[in-house]
Every structure is written in C-alpha cells, then in structure tokens.
Amino acid sequence: MNNNIYLPQLAVIKDIKEETGDIKTFTLAFKDRKFKKSFSFRPGQFMMVSVFQAGEVPISISSSPAQPGILQLSIKKAGSLTGKIHGHKVGDEIGVRGPYGRSFPVERLIGKNLLFVAGGIGLAPLRSLINYVLDKRTEFGRVTILHGARTPSDIPFKHELSRWPKERDAKVLVTVDRPDSRWRGSVGPVTTLWNKADVSGQDTLAIICGPPVMISFVVMDLLKMGFSEDDIISTLERHMKCGVGKCGHCSIGHQLTCVDGPVFTYREMKKLPTDL
Amino acid sequence: MRRASGKGDLMTDKLILYKEHLNSFLRKITKGFELIAPVRNTYGDTLFEVISSVDDVSIDLTNRPILSPKRFFMPQVETLFAYRYDKSGYTFKDAADSTPRVIFGLRSCDTRGILFYDLIFQEGLKDKYYLDRRKDTILINLGCNQPGENCFCKSAQSGPFLTYGYDIQLTDLGDRFFVETGRPRGRELLAGWSYFFRPATQTDIDEQYEVVLESEGKFRHRLDFDAAIDKLINQEVAPAIWEELGNRCQNCGGCAYVCPTCYCFNIFDSPGSEKEGERLRTWDACTFAGFSRLAGGYNPRQDKTQRIKRRFYHKLFYDKQKYNIPSCVGCGRCADICFGRIDMLSFIRLICEQENKVSEPAHRKLGELLLDAGLISQKDLDLAIEKQAATGHATGRFAVAKKPLGAQLVEMGMVNKEAIARTLGYQLKIPGTAENVED
C-alpha cells in the first residue's frame, strides 16, 4: 500500500456486461495482489475511477461485498469521461482508488423490512445492498424493490430483477415512463407502484436512489405512509475531484458529500441547504 | 534538521539579531535550504520569491507581499504523478518534493493561513504532497509594525503578531530584530549560528511589547466577525444584498487565488503524448460557474448569487463551525484585488451595517421557523420583536441595524443559540466530537 491518497490502483477489466444502451457493468480485478487481498468495502460506497488522459470520476460500487474478490461498477454514459470508459474492452486497464464515503447503515437494517426505490442508474448502488441483503437473507425481513426506468430498454440488471422475486419474501415491481408495444407492466413514475407494493412505515426502512425529482416525490409519499425521517435513507450525487474531503467541490452546506455522505438519512438531508 | 549541528547554544528563546547581521544570517540559510523571502521586483511589486543569492535581490520587509505564500505548499499547478503506458500496462511515477525550505518574512496572516491549510490537509486521509512540503519548511514570521490599508488581522484574531504557530518570529525594533523561537526546529535553526544572536534584555522585551501595542492601535478597520457570523446563522442577510453581490461578481476567482486559506482544487489529466501524461492538481475557485456542475449538466450552484453566498457561508460560518475558526485571516488581499468590492472586508461591513428594513423578511422567517418548531410562543416572539425594534434606527445617512432577532431572543433567554442553529438546519459541531460518522 502506498501512502499517496491520489495514486490509483490498477485494475484489469475482466468482464463487460451491456445492461442497456447507455449502461455497462464492468467487473474489475486489481493487479496488485496484496491490495486485492486487503480490499473491502460496504454497500453505498464509491470509487474514484481513472481513465488516464481523461481524468477521474466517482462511481458507486454495484456489486455485493458479501462476494469477496469481486468489484463491479455499473456506469452510465453521462459525460465525456464515462463515454471513454464505455469505449474500454475486456483486458484493458483502468485506475481505481477507494472505497470512499459513508455507506448504507447496514447494521441498522438488520431484522427490518426493506423497501428499495430506484430510478434509472440509481439502481446501481442499491444493487450492491440488495445483493448483500439477499446473500445474507436470514438477517433481514421482507424485501420490496421498486424500479422506474424511462423505457423498457432502459431497465438495467434485467437478469437480477427477474431473479430477485424468486428469493424468499422478496417482491420486485418495475414501471416505465414510456412503454413500447410489448410492455405489459406498469406505466408511470415509480410512485404509481405504491398500491401494488403494499408497504407501510411499520418496521420498515426505505432506501432510495435516483434523480433528485424522483427522490423528493418518493420521500413525500413515504412520510405520508408513516415512515420516520430517520428511516428514509438516500444518496446524493455531487461533482467530485478528490473523493477524500479536500478539494471542496462536493460541498453542501457544511457537509462534504464524499466523506459525510453520499448516504444520508432524510432527517440529515433536509437540513442540507441544497444551494449553499 | 540538517543545519542545526549545535555550533552554539541559545541561552533563551528571546534573542536579538542586529539588522547589519541579517544578510549574513540569510546567506547562511541559503547554504542548507531553499530560501524564500519577499522581494521587490523591477515593477515595484513585492512577492515571495525563491532567493538564490541574498545580495542580488532587494528583500522588502515593509510591504505585505501581494500574493500569499500558499504556492510553496500547494503550487498553483502541480504534478501529482506521471503515468505511462506500454505492453505490460500502466506505470506511475509519483512526484515528490522534499526540498528543505525556509520562508523568511511571512506575515502573521500568512502563517495563520498555513495553519489553516494544516487542518484541511491533515484531516482524515492525509495529503502527502502538502504535508511533505510543510514538514520540510521552516516558517520565520515577521510581525507587522504597520498594518496595511486593507488589513484587518486584528479583527480576525490572527495578527498583527503571533503567539503560536511560528518556528521563529521577528519584531522590528528599528536597528535590530527581536527574535522569538516557537517550535523546536526554529530554535535548532538558530542554534547553528548562535553567534549572530544575543539574548534579549528586559529593555528589548519591553520595547517589543510597546511595538505590539502600538501596531494594534493602528488598524483602520475593526470588523465584528462574531456579529457577521451571527447574521449568517440567523439568515439575516437580505436577499437583495446577495443579489447585488452576485451581480457585481465577475467570476474571476481572484479572491480565492490571493486568499491564504482558500484551498479548493481541481484534478485533471494532461496528456503528454499518446502513451503518457500527467495527473495535475491546480487551484480552483468556488465562484467559477463549473465548480459544482455535474456530468449531464445539473449544477446545484448554477447562479452567481448562490456561489457568492456559498463562499461567504463557507469561509465565515461553516469553517468556524467545523474548525472553530473562520477561514479568513484578515490579510485584506481580496479587498486589494476585487474591483467589485465583493471582498471579505466590504462584505462584513456591509452586512453589519445593512439597513434594518431590508432584513425584516428574514426576521419573520426565523420567527416562523421557531414557532413551527415549538421553541417559542407567539407571545414571546411578539415581545422580542417589539424590544428588537428599539435597538436600531433607519434615520439619517447612517442607519443603525436592529439587533438580530436571534440575538434578541437569546438575550431575553427565550431560546438558546444552538436551538436557533438547529432550527435553521445547521448543527453546531464541537471539534473532537465527530458524531455523524456511522462506520
């Protein structure tokens, strides 16, 4: 291990899975054996991903820490850097450093019913936690997963979305904004799934990730359903350069998304002055 | 310390260096260190520069250098590492800087700026680029006998003389310098050339004390940082003021670049050729439009007004909350450079003198929030507003602002400061009791 927090570790791309037209899941293996052995993370944490000549970008880990040795990043093509990552092939090297950030409060979730609500690529960090929960199935209560995508072809992790409902006490509901001719499922924002989901704030924690607008509508409904502000957990996305609490870019009020977040409870989030 | 071979012994930590020996002393320093000192260049500007030959430059100890010395700890552009690609993959070459340095003639504001950098770069994961340079640099502070035009370090409690944080501190006593050694390595440095120094006498000590007192009395500006921070906590700066500041800001980043405590930086790659390049770090400024912009275009601080507001909240309130000191050392450089007068000096004066009528809506907002939170009764609030009204007036050319509603409520014992801060969505954190980290 080096003592330079800005120096990335090299990782080889072992597998690339095309989730949708603009989302790919990259399976990585660290080149340094010692680092590979010592590497561990928690669901909700992120990595700073280097594409040399282009720079770095923060990406949530989408694999489960219950499967040691596996590091997956599911990346949506959003800007020039993520575009360049999409151009990579199996066997290519990229740089990664991390894991960084405050994770989902896994210990608090034990024994509780869990409601996951995701929009678009927001399912990536939740996938890490969902698979972790399902890998340790007996430790958690009922699992309900709601996902909203723009169109049927924008739904990522299709294989898992169909595998998860087969687990004990697990339910998955998916909706799209714009259906195609073959879509038989729900249509509309993710909040249209409440009736089918049959959830209550009783003994349940909600974990949400998606675009800011989706988060605010979902939170409003959850509060009405009786969820307490501490039991609504979400993640925030901000521009980041260092990932380690120095560069100042990801600040929100007196907090830094990279070290104080990216996971916040709603009680914490509502105190953050979003434009300060 | 390599030069401190103990040629002599210093009898005391208060010494005298005669001015005629200064250049000889500095020449000795250049033998074992890279010497940095304020130099007046041919354009008449004074800047901290690396000095190879003491006799070839004009060291200026009268004027405060235009730029802070922060670039000697975090250069405006620096290479973090170089990368290279070949058949076997990528390899890195870590940039390292282990030059031993002495910075001579730092002003108290600058030394305090470096102490603030220490907080940022040591907190959590350590920044080795900064800490390596810091470790190998000796700080020789020069207290200020004559505060500059825009100086307000006394109000910022960071000058004109320091009581800690320096390795060596000098006070100009006319024909000689009063020399104090602070941290051990300062003492070690001087011990190498003890023959330049004599122990200070009681007369020297008394004279130095008089210089300090005299200097403290010379400040043109006295700013009330606490009152300004209270205005921010209580959200009592009128929206119209933020608007105006936003309109006047030209996004030049000058305030951040000249500031001894502004530390925000950018990281990016600079391709050299097809197979190699460098990862660079450069200074950044929160007033730049792209500072917070995300891939995809969303920008939480899209508006100039929001960025200006962020800047002042960060430096005055958030840093005070986090580190117990605001990140303004009162050097006045932003006031020197900003032609829009959106500098710290103008800002604190502006918000402390704003007419009471413009802050009225903000008062109502705080009152409503406290009512909603059930922390005060309507009766108490009315009473406080009535009392508060008597504390200011808007007549004549110089309006006197009313006491902030928050302060009024606290004074009347109706609610405490922490409750106000919490109600407004901020939690006052006491250093050393990080309670918000879960794992």
Per-residue pLDDT reduced to its tens digit, B288-298: 998 998 877 88
- B348 part of a folded domain: no
What CA–CA distance (Å, rounded) separates B431 from B333? 29
CB contact under 8 A, A247 and B286: no
The 3 state secondary structure assigned to A53-97 is CCEEEEEEECCCCCCCCCEEEEEECCCHHHHHHHCCCCCCEEEEE
Burial zone of B33 (CB within 10 Å; 0-12 exposed, 13-18 middle, 19+ buried): buried
Residue of B nearest to A263 (CA): B438
Cα B112–chain centre separation: 6
* Residues of A in Cβ contact (< 8 Å) with B312: none
- B45 part of a folded domain: yes
A266: its two tokens:
């709603």
pLDDT at position B434 over 50:
no
Phi and psi, residue B36, nearest 5°: -120, 130
Q: How far is CA A232 from CA A203, A209, A235, B104, in A?
A: 12, 11, 10, 55
pLDDT digits (tens, 9 = 90+) for B162-211: 999 999 999 999 999 999 999 999 999 999 899 999 999 999 999 999 99
Each domain of chain A, given as residue ranges in start order, spans 9-100, 106-235
What per-residue confidence (pLDDT) applies to A99? 97
What per-residue confidence (pLDDT) applies to B424? 61
Residue numbers of the domain that contains B420: 355-434
How many CB atoms sit inside 10 A of residue A41's CB? 19
What per-residue confidence (pLDDT) applies to A118? 97
Among B126, B296, B437, beta carbon nearest to A79? B296
CB contact under 8 A, A241 and B80: no
Q: How far is CA A99 from CA A81, A248, B403, in A?
A: 20, 19, 48
* Residues of B in Cβ contact (< 8 Å) with A252: 300
- B141 part of a folded domain: yes
Residue B358 pLDDT grade (very low, low, confident, very high; cuts 50, 70, 90): very low
CB contact under 8 A, A93 and B89: yes
Mutate to test the interface with B, among A35, A239, A256, A264 (most CBs of B within 10 A): A239
Residues of chain A with pLDDT under 70: 1-2
pLDDT at position B86 over 60:
yes
* Residues of B in Cβ contact (< 8 Å) with A249: 264, 266, 284, 291-292
pLDDT digits (tens, 9 = 90+) for B390-427: 776 544 334 455 667 777 888 888 888 777 766 664 43
Alpha helices (runs of H) in chain A, residue ranges in sequence order: 33-38, 80-86, 106-109, 123-135, 158-163, 194-197, 212-224, 257-260, 266-269
Contact status, residue A82 vs residue A75, Cβ threshold 8 Å: yes
Residue of A nearest to B323 (CA): A254
Contacting residues for B127 by C-beta, under 8 A, at least 6 apart: A5, A246, B121
Residue of B nearest to A244 (CA): B125
Residue of B nearest to A54 (CA): B269
The alpha-carbon gap from A276 to the nearest alpha carbon of chain B, in Å, equals 5
What per-residue confidence (pLDDT) applies to B427? 34
Q: List b or e across B351-376, with b for residues whose CB sees 16 or more CB atoms inside 10 angstroms.
A: beebbbebbeebbeebbeebeeeebb
Tell me the percentage of chain B whose pLDDT exceeds 70: 87
Would you list the DSSP string of B232-291? HHTT-S-HHHHHHHHHH-----HHHHH-SS---EEEEEEE-SSSEEEEEEEE--TTSTTT
What CA–CA distance (Å, rounded) separates B76 from A171? 54
What CA–CA distance (Å, rounded) separates B97 from B4? 21
CB contact under 8 A, B128 and A55: no
pLDDT digits (tens, 9 = 90+) for B1-52: 334 334 556 668 899 999 999 999 999 999 999 999 999 999 999 999 999 9
Model-level pTM? 0.84
Q: Of B191, B216, B241, which closes a domain?
A: B216
Contact status, residue A155 vs residue A161, Cβ threshold 8 Å: yes
* Residues of B in Cβ contact (< 8 Å) with A239: 291-294
- B139 part of a folded domain: yes
Q: How far is CA B246 from CA B243, B312, B345, B371, B394, in A?
A: 5, 12, 16, 32, 25
Contacting residues for B381 by C-beta, under 8 A, at least 6 apart: B367, B370, B371, B409
Among A53, A81, A268, beta carbon nearest to B277? A53
Domain range A9-100, its CATH number among 2.40.30.10, 2.170.140.10, 3.40.50.300, 3.90.580.10: 2.40.30.10
Q: Of B184, B216, B248, which closes a domain?
A: B216
Q: Of B170, B196, B216, which closes a domain?
A: B216
How many alpha carbons lie under 13 Å from residue A114 in its C-beta half-sphere? Answer: 30
How many structural domains compose chain B?
Answer: 2
What per-residue confidence (pLDDT) applies to A259? 96
Fold (topology level) of A106-235: Rossmann fold (3.40.50)
Mutate to test the interface with B, among A102, A230, A254, A265 (most CBs of B within 10 A): A254
